[in-house]
Amino acid sequence: MSHVLLVQSYWAKSSWGFPKGKVNEEEDPAHCAVREVLEETGFDISGHLDPDDFLEATINDQLVRLYIVRNVPMTTKFNPKTRCEIKSCSWFAVADLPNNKKDSTPKTKIGVGANSFFMVMPFVKRLKQICNGTVSRRGRHKSASFCEGEVPVSAIRQKAKPPTQKAESEDIRHIKKRQPQDKKCHSKRQLFSEDKRIDAQFCAPSWLNFKFDKIAIMECMP
């Protein structure tokens, strides 16, 4: 393995990436890879794909799987089947791809900046290790690609985000803030004292301006 096949979007100015697409509901990721590669390159990888040969990476909270499809001749002619989606398909040497945004290798060797491969970079380091034979088959389990004798394909799955705790209302927070630390018991007469600290304990902030007829109430009390 020495090269990977990358595609360029019809509307992209210079960015390149692996053929990719989202997995449909209840669709097998390997089937998604076959479908997307056929649509974006016109090449059927169903006879070349090993469902257990892949890499994975989390990009923007999405799990991306890259299947490594081997034995695809570099003389293969690719013909995208979708209109206005894929502008170009081209082979790139794995050694020329950037490991990170500051890597100047692609700019020096092929005249393309590292930022043009931002969707490829999460996999480059491991692809280079595979090329050098330093990664075992078991350690690869992480995605899909086209190399000389190989074709990359990525299937994206959205990761569920943990539910956020509902914020307390302004009134509840205000009451908690104003509640006194001591929890003394108060008699009925004390409820009508001028101590606003006690009023705040029993009333919501919006009720603090409400006034009782204290004389009438006191006359009714035993």
Domains of the chain: 3-158 (3.90.79.10), 170-220 (no CATH)
Q: Of 20-29, 176-185, 192-201, which has the strongest mean pLDDT?
A: 20-29
CA distances from 151 to 15, 33, 59, 89, 101 (A): 18, 10, 20, 11, 23
- What single string gives the DSSP state of each residue in 110-158? HS--GGGGTTTHHHHHHHHHHHTT-S-TGGG-S--EEEETEEEEEEEEE
User: pLDDT tier at 146 (50, 70, 90 boundaries)?
Assistant: very low
Give the model's pLDDT for residue 52: 92
Q: Give the whole-number percent of the chain exceeding pLDDT 90.
A: 41
Q: Indicate the pTM of the whole model.
A: 0.61
The confidence score (pLDDT) of residue 127 equals 92
Decide if pLDDT at 131 tops 50: yes
Half-sphere exposure of 64 (CA within 13 A, CB side): 22
pLDDT higher than 90, residue 123 = yes
Confidence tier at 94 by pLDDT (50, 70, 90): very high
Q: In 3D, which of 42, 43, 72, 35 has the Cα closest to residue 154? A: 35
